[in-house]
Amino acid sequence: MRSLGRILQTVGLMILPFAIVSELVGEIGLGRSMLIALGGMIFFQVGVALQQTKGS
């Protein structure tokens, strides 16, 4: 579970800059960029929760 948590944290951290850059170059609007960033934050928080669980 800890390795899955670490992977989810990494994915969440990679999503955030993607959302920012996509909005800056005009590919997507601000609202969609915020939704993508929110998804990244959710991935990160789920990863933190999984990494803190007692398990292998």
pTM of the model: 0.83
Q: What is the pLDDT of residues 4-55, one digit of tens each?
A: 999 999 999 999 999 999 999 999 999 999 999 999 999 999 999 999 887 6
Residue 16 CA to residue 36 CA, distance in Å, equals 7
For the record, the structure tokens of 10 come out as 């990494």
Place of tokens 């005009």: 26
Cα Rg of the chain, angstroms: 13
DSSP letters of 1-56?
A: -HHHHHHHHHHHHHHHHHHHHHHHTTSS-HHHHHHHHHHHHHHHHHHHHHHTSS--
Inform me whether the pLDDT recorded for 1 exceeds 90: no
